[in-house]
Structure 1
Amino acid sequence: MALQEVCHFYDSVPSSSEHSPVALALEGCCAEYRSAKVGHSLPVFYLPVMKSQPVCQPWKTINLSTMPSSTSSVKSFMLAEESKRPFDLSHGTTTLSFKFQGGVIAAADTRSSCAKKVECPSSQKIIPIHSHLVGTTSGTSADCTLWKRILSYKCRLYQLQNKRTLTVRGTAKLLSGALFPFKGTELCVAATLCGWDHTGPALYYVYSDGTCLEGDLFSVGSGSPYAYSILDREYHFDMSVDEAYCLARRAVYHATHRDAYSGGNVDLYHVTKEGWRKIGRENLFPVYYEKKEAQLHGSGEVPGF
């Protein structure tokens, strides 16, 4: 995608992607207004809308009777008052990240839930974005995956055009600016960007309302209060690499034990000056029983947790 844009080479007509949801979001303009201007070429896609806020619908001024009959699905979409989900989605997760003297650590559980159902016990909530950058995802899985792919594409494109990698701060500002037009909608993306650039280790939190914060430690998701209870007590910047690994695993483990929406495995990533590295994925289920057995024998400790 990035190489295509630099070389101006496309497998299909370029205008076909001009009015896509991705293009609308990255341009930072009103999706409803752009959709109205394209008329009968309007693509049908889900647009999140809050019930409490009326949607700007300039297409109501268009004479729909003049539109071809082949665009009946487009007509029905344009006349619709709202695009509603058939049911409310409840979701939760536990993700955390922190800086220390050896780089940046990112950890997350792997349970994806929908309402009261576990949809996937082994989902990927830490997504590599570039060679020096990974992101943790919390919120709606589809929203998070889409925007992380967009961000990865933009980072590669920036490197091709400028012969250098985009800084972590610049990446966070790019994502924040792209998400801000969707403030007040049902879009739900809460991400932390963990990377290393010429300034050293960097950590940013970005939310779907445009919030962008820099910090040394973040935990996001329904299990974050339980993770913070461990992190606040044991975190310090001068930790060794092994201590950082153990702290991240232990914080996620305690969160999954108390939070029903978190569980499965714990994914662990380490970002250094050389780039990101996946440390591994460990199953949390046997850890609970190992800890119980260790408590019976008086130690109460499980190696690595």
Structure 2
Amino acid sequence: MALFQVSGLKSFAELREQILPARQTHLFDRTNHYNFGTKTQEFAVPLGVDPSGFLGTCSRDGGVSIDLNHGTTTLAFKFRHGVIVAVDSRASAGRYLASNDVNKVIEINPYLLGTMSGSAADCQYWERLLAKECRLYRLRSNHRISVAAASKLLCNMMLGYRGMGLSMGSMICGWDKEGPGLYYVDDRGTRLSGRMFSTGCGSSYAYGVVDSGYREDMAVEEAYELGRRGIAHATHRDAYSGGAVNSEYTLVYIHQPTTPVPRCLRHFSLVQTGVSTIGRVAGTFQD
């Protein structure tokens, strides 16, 4: 009490009477930090109107009715030499064009990539959380996580929040000791393994192009051209996809040297905005 008098701060009870109506209980009573007693994270609720009462006015039946329209096109397929990932760069909110320069490829680690489709916030948050879990896995087990295990981690996260309004359709792509890997994971907990996936409202256009020219024994140049044509046709036909064509792919060469040295992994990144530029980053494959 003496500290309140010296600093001139008002007590919690006085602040609550000024902000909230008399004899009205709000979520403001809850703590806004990590609760060590229950070992749960208590979310901070902003001052003002009770969020549950405000959201109840969003629909006639008293429930929350928020319909968010998403538009994007992402494409990924694996072949003999690696995995091609091609995405558009347009972010749309219904009929509103939010941005034409969005990076929809999230690096989980130097050997794993994830794509964004659905809500940008959900995809970024959960794939960054997946990146943290992959780093912890490396520290615990002293070897990096496989593509299948990483996709299973993300699937388990989605199963815990199924039916809670998340919007995410992601492709986990990379290379491990089993070779190139490609998995599809969405917000309902669906996890699929395959050679080719496309998500977003322009996926049907991308599938039509890639299906007609896909071969597992393609050369690297043929695979790049097929991915570029697939995403270019989708962005041209689909009204909610567009922007620059960002194509990032992982290309891996495995050789059998005469002396025992680590197998080499090379990560290629290409962004096409009229003039093609290729950057190369070298890494090391470790079992």
How does the TM-score come out when normalised to structure 1?
A: 0.68
Alignment check: 8 A CA contact 1:138 1:190 kept: yes
1:245: which partner in 2? 224
Equivalent position of 1:76 in the other structure: 50
Report the CA distance between 1:83 and its aligned residue: 10
Letter in 2 for 1:76: D
Kept in 2: contact 1:196–1:202 (CA 8 A): yes
The residue aligned with 1:236 is: 215
- Give the match for residue 272 of structure 1: 251
Q: Paired residue for 1:122, among 82, 90, 101?
A: 101
Instruction: Summarize deviations over 1:175-200 as a string: whole Å, max 9, x none.
Output: 00011122122210100010111111
CA contact (8 A) 1:133 1:275 kept: no
Structure 2 matches for 1:200-211, cutoff 5 A? 200-211=179-190
1:272 Cα shift?
3.3
Which structure has the larger Rg over C-alpha atoms? 2
Partner of 2:192: 213
> How many residues end up aligned between the 2 structures?
229
Q: Shift in Å at residue 113 of structure 1?
A: 0.3
SS in 1 for 2:71: coil
RMSD value over aligned CA atoms? 3.0
| Corresponding residue for residue 175 of structure 1 | 154
Q: Which runs of 4+ in 1 moved over 4 A?
A: 15-19, 72-75, 77-87
CA distance in 2, matches of 1:132, 1:38: 34
User: Does structure 2 conserve the Cα–Cα contact (< 8 Å) formed by 1:143 and 1:187?
Assistant: yes
Structure 2 runs not aligned, ≥5 long: 1-30, 59-63, 253-263, 276-287
Distance 1:280 1:157, change over 3 A: same
Residue 107 of structure 2 is aligned to residue 133 of structure 1: no
Question: Structure 1 pair 276/261, CA: closer, same or farther in 2 (3 Å)?
Answer: farther
Residue 151 of structure 1 pairs with residue 130 of structure 2: yes
Rate the CA distance shift 1:160–1:250 in 2: closer, same or farther, 3 A: same
Partner of 1:44: 44
SS at 2:50 equivalent? helix
2:203 pairs with 1:224: yes
Higher strand share: 2
- Structure 1: runs of 5 or more not aligned: 1-14, 20-33, 46-71, 287-305
**1:209-244 CA distance string (max 9 Å, x none):** 100000000011100000001011111101000000
Q: Which of 62, 74, 78 is the equivalent residue of 1:99?
A: 78
| Contact 2:72-2:202 within 8 A present in 1 as well | yes
| CA apart distance, 1:44 | 3.2
Distance of 1:176 and 1:125 partners within structure 2: 19
CA distance in structure 2 between the aligned counterparts of 1:254 and 1:149, rounded to whole angstroms: 30
Q: Could you tell me which residue of structure 2 aligns to residue 281 of structure 1? A: 271
Hey, what does 2:91 align to over in structure 1? 112
